[in-house]
Structures are given as C-alpha cells and as structure tokens.
Amino acid sequence: MSPTEAGRDLSVLTYNVLSPAHADWPARRKVITAGLADLDPDVLLLQEVAEDLVDRHHAWHSQRSADGVGAALYSRWPIVAVHEQDLRVTSRVDLPWSAVVVAEIGAPFGTLLVAHHKPTWHLGYALERELQAVAAARFIEKQAFERDVHVILAGDFDDPPESSSIRFWTGRQSLDGLSVAYRDATDGQLTFTPENPLVTAGEMALEEGRRIDYVMVRCGVHGPTLRTVGARRVFDRPVDGVWPSDHFGVFAEFAVAPGGP
C-alpha cells in the first residue's frame, strides 16, 4: 500500500538501538533489522548505531565515539543537502556526536527538512540541553528561513516533556531570547522505562521511566504544516525472548496540511 493510499504522505521512525557493545548484539540486530523492514518508514533516524542497518540514502553525524557508535538518518527519497551544527556547547559535553544534522530531502510533496537532534544524555545537565536546544533551533531556522518547506525534528532528546528544553521546543517557554513552536506528534508513552529489562540491567539501574524520544513538526504562526495521522511506540516488546534495545522507538505518520507551509 502506497503512502497516499494509506491516508498519509510521510512516515518517520526514531529509534535508539543501544550500542552493539551491550547485550547480545547479533540477536538484537536480527530483531531490529526485521522490525525496520516491516515498518518501512520513509525517514528513519537511528542513535547509538555503528553500521548501516538499512539500504537507503543516508546522512550520518560526522563524528562518532571511539568505538564507532554515532547517529544516522536514512531517507527513502534523495537527500539533496546535509547541514550540521556541533552541539558540544560546554566542556561537560563529552559525546563526540552531540550535534544536530539537518537533511534536505526531495519528497514527493515538496522539500522536507529533517533535523536529527542529539543533545547530551547526562542527568543534571539541563543547562547544556537548554543551550543545545537553542543552538539547534537557531541552526534549523537558518536552513528554513523564507523557504516553502516542511520541517521534522526528531531523535533521542534525553529530556522528558516537562523539562525546560522540551518546553522550549514545543513553544511553552522561551530560552535565551528565542522562542519556537514544534508540534509533538509522540503518543505520550514512556520510551525509556524499567518495564524493559535492558534498562535496569544497564548503567541506570534505578531508572523510574521517562519519555525522551520524540518526533515533532515545525509550526508556522497558524500551526504545523503537517497533520499527524497517528503515532505509536514500537520495538516495545521482546521477540523470541530478545529485547532489541533499552529504548522503545517512536513511529509517526503525517499528511500534508491544506494550504501548505
């Protein structure tokens, strides 16, 4: 079934797959690749990935950790241009691939900008995530300024909805003299939670559960340019006893809003 027949123009999946150094990567990789093939999103954003898991047009974050782990964006349609902003905003940010990558995609319904945002993950680093959100937002606005484009913002934001950085992204507060508005398409379910045994088996054994993975749509003064058709949590159960990652993925579907951007 084509996107148009399915009542939507665009599907987006963001998923932190957990570094191959953790758990049983060969078994997890098998589950993940099968799941990606089944979901078949138009745009795919992966974090903590060390290899291409799909055969698509791609845009990797330019920097990776010493073990080769980083973040990558994949598109069904050609990627026309790629822009990147480093987000190592203070000396405390030690993740080499902390950056926002904006891919310009030639979608059938018009130009689509997809911003793959990766701030720092550390608890207690709200200041850094605020600075990173502002830097990323300014960079995205620079790419979208006075252009007839749709903008998707997605990734592992490492902050819950009530945090200052997510409040900023969703237009509920300003930071550093700047305000933006993105419509959160996520369905509200937790994406990093102890219901997944890989969470309690990892470095955050006392984790209580948070929603930290998002897919958002940039708004104009009258609202978003894409209508959310649906959003759901995916990769949220084991397959033959194998949990694919310590995160759950977010799969969102959109239709072009009447009147355009």
When the pLDDT of each residue in the chain is averaged and rounded to a whole number, the result is 95
Q: Considering Cα of 37, then 82, then 108, then 157, what sign does the dihedral take?
A: positive
Looking at domain 10-256, its CATH architecture is 4-Layer Sandwich (3.60)
Instruction: Report pLDDT digits (tens) over 126-172.
Output: 999 999 999 999 999 999 988 889 999 999 999 999 999 999 999 99
- CA dist 105 and 143 (Å) reads 12
Which residues of the chain have a pLDDT value below 50?
Answer: 1-5
What is the predicted pLDDT for the residue at 258? 72
Instruction: Report pLDDT digits (tens) over 192-202.
Output: 999 999 999 98
